[in-house]
Chain A
Amino acid sequence: GAGVSQTPSNKVTEKGKYVELRCDPISGHTALYWYRQSLGQGPEFLIYFQGTGAADDSGLPNDRFFAVRPEGSVSTLKIQRTERGDSAVYLCASSPTSGSVSYNEQFFGPGTRLTVL
């Protein structure tokens, strides 16, 4: 596709449930990022993939959060035992290989708004 896509656009769940959020990056982009944005704040980094492997997962808040990118394209962010504090907009971004002419410019998807009741 032309840009980064994310599904679903909105997700409402109950406390304690499991959710999966999907990101489809720009075709050919090897780097993929997940960020979380709370109301009135800037996005905060969660995890970064280079290809299939997580190169930096230092932003994941705890072990309830996990992300995969098994084939180096689509990524899924998984949240177990959701809590009300997990409510936020989850943003995905992708960028070309490091060192390309795009200088690590990150292109963002529309986000998934997660609401935990």
Chain B
Amino acid sequence: KQEVTQIPAALSVPEGENLVLNCSFTDSAIYNLQWFRQDPGKGLTSLLLIQSSQREQTSGRLNASLDKSSGRSTLYIAASQPGDSATYLCAELSYNTDKLIFGTGTRLQVFP
């Protein structure tokens, strides 16, 4: 059974810090990996998608990397802001299926 794990489960940092969120997966046939943001009581907003053939993707202050050999992805957030406070979820899509397998998320709080 494919599993996705996210560490840490929760993170609280002061504004301005650079931070890294970790995601590990067991699927050796990964097709792509997506990072999402979820605000309380809201749906999921797609942040970045990395194809299995890619090593990283960047959008503004966000950078996501993918290492298939080690089964890991990281989301790097530069110069964090209070508005970044949310739950961040990673999800992998396998070549063998069309369903996303999600981690349980990292709950981030950035305080002023």
Contacts and interface: CB of A to CB of B under 8 A. Distances in A.
A104 B91 CA distance: 12
B99 A56 contact: yes
A25 interface: no
A111 interface: yes
Interface in B28-59: 31-32, 34, 36, 41-46, 49, 51
Given A103-B49, A107-B46, A108-B43, A42 B98 contact: no
B46 A48 contact: no
B49 A91 contact: no
Interface string B72-101: 000000000000000001010100011111
Contacts of A42: 4, 89, 91, 102-105
Contact of A108 (B46, B51, B99, B104): B46
A1 interface: no
A40 interface: yes
Contacts of B99: 33, 45, 48, 56, 59
Nearest to B9: A40
Interface residues of A, number: 29
Nearest to A46: B99
Contact of B98 (A35, A56, A91, A113): A56
Contacts of A41: 104
Interface of A: 4, 6, 31, 33, 35, 40-45, 48, 50, 55-56, 59, 91, 93, 98, 103-111, 113
21 contacts: A4-B43, A35-B100, A41-B104, A43-B91, A43-B102, A44-B102, A45-B101, A48-B98, A48-B99, A55-B98, A56-B97, A93-B44, A93-B100, A104-B98, A105-B34, A105-B46, A105-B49, A107-B46, A108-B43, A110-B42, A110-B43
